[in-house]
Every structure is written in structure tokens, then in C-alpha cells.
Structure 1
Amino acid sequence: MRIDISRKAAFAMLTLALAACGGRQPLKPIEGQNMPAVPVGATAAPTAQQLMTPSIQARPERSVDLLTSSRVREDDEFDLPPESQP
């Protein structure tokens, strides 16, 4: 039982150590590759940070209001039963 706890603790420490060793340097293109082309209509090429930031369309904000109380559903004139087949 004691060995099992030690293995779990060692695995947890190893996982934390591996998670903490990420690079924190600015992004640069690989040697021999160019930066992305300037988009049509833009005055300058986007930076690496701008390319990594999602657009408004990729992460839209919630635009519907949550219901705070129940309300009776109105009659729908287009909610018809299906037609029967002869």
C-alpha cells in the first residue's frame, strides 16, 4: 500500500514538472519560411499575437437574454398536425 501512494505522488510530481517546462519565448517563423502575407485591405502584416487571438466570429458573445420567469407559450398558427396518408 505504501508503494502505491509513492508511485502516485511521483507520477503527480512528474506531471507537474512536465507541465511547467513550456516555452515562454515570442513566436517566430521557422527558418526558410516567410511570415503570412498581408491580408487584402490591411496596411501591415498581423503579428503572431494577433494571429493567435480568436476573432469575434470565432468566439461570439451571448446575445440572448435568459428567462427570469416562466411565461405561457403563445398559440402558433403554423403548428399543424401531420397529414394522414390514404
Structure 2
Amino acid sequence: MTRRPLLLAAVALTLAGCGARRDLRPAEGEALPPPPYGATATPTPGDLLTPTTQQRPTRSDELLRESTERQDDPFDIPPRN
């Protein structure tokens, strides 16, 4: 009885991995969505799939070079009893 679920899972994984890989295009007879507000041209599928620097920021290697004394925080008050 345990072979049947394993076989079913293996077949499902095999079928899930056999998709065709090619460039993304709109369906036949369909057009790309309209360009975003303020854009001068309609972005291509490749442009839409490329992450911007805001979506994937670069690493900052700025190191703390010298320590500074913390300033007094006027809002750091003890809780009421």
C-alpha cells in the first residue's frame, strides 16, 4: 500500500518538471497590458522580469569607523507604575 502514494508522487513530480522553456509572449490575439502611468513605452516581458535596485538592493560595505556617544533621547522615559 505504501508503494502507490510514492509512485503517484514520483509521477506528479516528473510531470511537473517537464514544462517547455521559451521566451514569454502574450497569448495569440492578445496584447501586452498598457504601459504604466508615466512610462514612455510598454515594457517587454524581459523588462518586467528583471528586478530593479529597489527590489534587490546592493550590499552596503560601509563599516563603522569610529564610535560616537549616543545622544540623549527625550522620548525614552520610564513606564508609569
Return structure 1 stretches of 4+ with deviation > 4 angstroms.
Answer: 64-67
Distance 1:84 1:57, change over 3 A: closer
Unpaired segments ≥5 residues, structure 1: none
* Aligned CA distance change for structure 1 residues 48 and 84 (closer, same or farther; 3 Å): closer
CA–CA separation in structure 2 for the residues paired with 1:14 and 1:81: 61
Look up the match of 1:82: 77
Partner residue, 2:32 = 35
Per the TM alignment, residue 11 of structure 1 is displaced from its structure 2 partner at its CA by 3.7
TM-score, scaled relative to structure 1? 0.53
Tell me the TM-score normalized by structure 2.
0.56
Query: What is the distance in 2 between the residues matched to 1:28 and 1:74?
Result: 57
Question: Percent identity of the aligned residues?
Answer: 36
Letter in 1 for 2:24: L
The structure-2 alpha-carbon separation of the partners of 1:53 and 1:8, relative to structure 1 and needing over 3 Å to count, comes to same
CA RMSD of aligned residues (A): 3.5
Structure 2 residue corresponding to 1:16, chosen from 13, 18, 32: 13
Match of 2:54 among 42, 52, 57: 57
Aligned residues: 75
Task: Find the aligned partners of 1:64 and 1:79 in 2 and give their Cα distance.
Answer: 32
